[in-house]
Amino acid sequence: MERSDVVKKIAQLVRAGAALTPYTCPACGTVLVRLKTGELYCANCEKTVVLVKTEEEAQEKLEVIQLREVRRIVFDKILQLGRELEKLSASEMVDHLRSMSLLLDIYERLSRVQSESSRRHAAT
Ligand SMILES: [Zn+2]
């Protein structure tokens, strides 16, 4: 991206409610903005950036991000199974519902892991 485009993009984000931060992108050195969601964003890489203090924290953040991805996949599967229910007979439904119940269980557990992790970081 052209430097002036990056500056324009940052200005746009700030107008939309994002805040400039004293941090820079580890990949390209561009000033990071904090989005309204609380995430740090690099307008040049067009990626959210996670700042960490230690290796351990980096690993933990990475795990949370990966778990979030798994959670999204599980969620999609639940929706998919839900949509398929309509076409099924009552006896076919049993297996489907069993799978859905299992997926919902996993989804709930993944959600719990995520909220525990964000609570932990809010406390420190
Ligand atoms: Zn960057």
Place 108 in a pLDDT band, splitting at 50, 70 and 90. very high
Residues 63 and 31 grouped into a single domain: no
Distance 91 CA to ligand 1 centre (A): 53
Average of per-residue pLDDT across 112-121: 74
Distance 44 CA to ligand 1 centre (A): 5
Q: Which range of residues forms the domain containing residue 23?
A: 3-49
Residues 39 and 66 grouped into a single domain: no
Tell me the C-alpha to C-alpha distance, in Å, between residue 101 and each of 73, 82, 91.
15, 11, 16
Query: What is the pLDDT of the chain when averaged over all its residues?
Result: 89
Distance 6 CA to ligand 1 centre (A): 10
Place 115 in a pLDDT band, splitting at 50, 70 and 90. confident
Residues 95 and 117 grouped into a single domain: yes
Residues 37 and 61 grouped into a single domain: no
Contact present, 24 and 40 (Cβ < 8 Å): no
Residues 67 and 96 grouped into a single domain: yes
Distance 33 CA to ligand 1 centre (A): 11
Alpha helices, DSSP H only, in 27-89?
Answer: 55-85
Residues 66 and 28 grouped into a single domain: no
Tell me the C-alpha to C-alpha distance, in Å, between residue 10 and each of 16, 35, 51, 78, 93.
10, 11, 19, 37, 51
Residues 43 and 101 grouped into a single domain: no
Domain termination site, one of 12, 30, 49: 49
Residues 102 and 64 grouped into a single domain: yes
Residues 115 and 69 grouped into a single domain: yes
Place 30 in a pLDDT band, splitting at 50, 70 and 90. very high
Domain count of the chain? 2
pTM score = 0.55
Tell me the C-alpha to C-alpha distance, in Å, between residue 78 and each of 40, 67, 69, 92, 109.
30, 16, 14, 16, 14
Residues 73 and 117 grouped into a single domain: yes
Distance 117 CA to ligand 1 centre (A): 26
Residues 30 and 64 grouped into a single domain: no
